[in-house]
Amino acid sequence: MADQLYFSRSTRLYIEQGTNIWEIPVLDGFSFSQSTNASEITLNEMASDAGVSRRAKQVFNDSYAPAEWSFSTYARPFIAKDTGDKIWGDTTKHHAVEEVLWANFVAVNAWDATGKTWTDGVASTTDSMVIDFTGSNSPVLGEISLYFSLGSCAPAGTTKTVYKISNAVVNSVSIDFEIDGICTINWSGFGGTISEAAQEPTSTIAEAITATTNFIRNRLTSLAITADDTTTFPGENSDGVYNAVLTGGNITMENNITFLTPETLCTVNHPLGHITGTRSISGSFTSYLNAATGSTADLFEDLVGATTTVTNSFDLTFSIGGASAPKIVINLPQCHLEIPSHSIEDVIAIEANFTGLPTTLDATDEATITYVGSAY
């Protein structure tokens, strides 16, 4: 029998939650794996009267480590419309191809196919889709099943191999501002076990996955910086506003999830379930060093001079894709900015790291992500 090889570019990704199945186009570079936790037993003894010292070892499998997965998607907001049987169902409201991932990153979520709504954290209107962390103060988050269908878009007659990651959770979301690129979101997380599924799922929600009008160009991205303390950080006009034209940047959001695994003897234990850790939102932005009033040179000087400010507070608003749709607006209303570092190149630049903070330890207002889609 002739060999059949699989190519990564022939892979489709499906996400299952309840009775709903989403098809999510992914980029090259996806991965999934699972390993075992093992114990090694060795002897450490002196020589016998025959001059022999036992030096062998034994290895025992204790448990399966949680499955790990990662992939990248383009950010693709759109305005829903009635296109047949694969629709969101609420015509003219704003959605995103990758919406199911956001929903299960920010809350214990489930999609109501009748009411066309999520349980928490994601709200679609005729103006935008807003994602927040109001439902994220939970010890667990939403679980989904991931299906990687290898050979799915290969020539007819190719045998498909489908791997399923059950009880998957979204642990990390990262958005990079590559100046000449398309807005890309990097997703990673964990799961219970990897198994081979009998067949490829049939998607029930696949709207706008082939559209070409819902890609976002990073080069149009802008950043608004406003200080809360206008005395220490006056900005250009004593209003706390600083001007910085981006050359790059990153925003990373983490759930810091841990999987729990039993430690029963005489069996290879499977991961039991997950618990959430500290919610973390951080990132950085780069900009040329500009000596104009209220620009990046003043921002550096004011941050260095704020010797009595233990925690500063800046409102950072990233408008990814510019002012018009399609775009994503990420607002971090209480950012702590670190002193920027200088990058000595042909044109001198600075890089500033930031951490998004809530108003209080009980609050969930570190960030708000607003998708504004376009018709397709």
- Residue 85 confidence (pLDDT): 53
Distance CA 130, CA 329 (A): 9
Q: Percentage of the chain surpassing pLDDT 90?
A: 72
For residue 54, give the 3-state DSSP assignment: coil
Band of pLDDT at residue 187, cut at 50, 70 and 90: very high
What's the whole-number average pLDDT of the chain? 92
pLDDT at residue 32 is higher than 70: yes
Q: What is the mean pLDDT of residues 21-28?
A: 95
77 alpha carbon, distance to own chain's centre: 16
Contact 65, 91 (CB under 8 A): no
pTM: 0.93
Q: Dihedral, CA atoms, 69, 73, 218, 314, nearest 10 degrees?
A: -50
Q: What is the pLDDT of residues 121-144, one digit of tens each?
A: 999 999 999 999 999 999 999 999
| SS3 letters across 313-365 | CEEEEEEECCCCCCEEEEEEEEEEECCCEEECCCCCEEEEEEEECCCCCCCCC
- Among 4-8, 84-88, 252-256, 258-262, the range scoring the smallest mean pLDDT is 84-88
Q: What is the pLDDT of residues 215-238, one digit of tens each?
A: 999 999 999 999 999 999 999 999
Half-sphere exposure of 224 (CA within 13 A, CB side): 13
pLDDT at residue 103 is higher than 90: yes
Long-range contacts of 359-364 (CB under 8 A, 24+ apart): 359/334, 362/137, 364/132, 364/133, 364/134, 364/135, 364/136, 364/137, 364/279
Tokens of 203: 């998607």
Residues 6+ apart with CB under 8 A from 372: 77, 94, 127, 128, 129, 325, 326, 327, 328, 329
- Residue 1 confidence (pLDDT): 54
User: Looking at residue 224, what DSSP letter applies?
Assistant: E
Residues 6+ apart with CB under 8 A from 294: 234, 235, 236, 237, 241, 242, 243
Tokens of 104: 């299960």
pLDDT at residue 165 is higher than 90: yes
Residue 61: strand pairing partners? 38
Category of 121 on φ-ψ map: left (φ > 0), alpha (ψ -120 to 50) or beta = left
pLDDT at residue 181 is higher than 80: yes
Q: Dihedral, CA atoms, 281, 367, 247, 241, nearest 10 degrees?
A: -120
- Residue 6 confidence (pLDDT): 84
Distance CA 364, CA 65 (A): 31
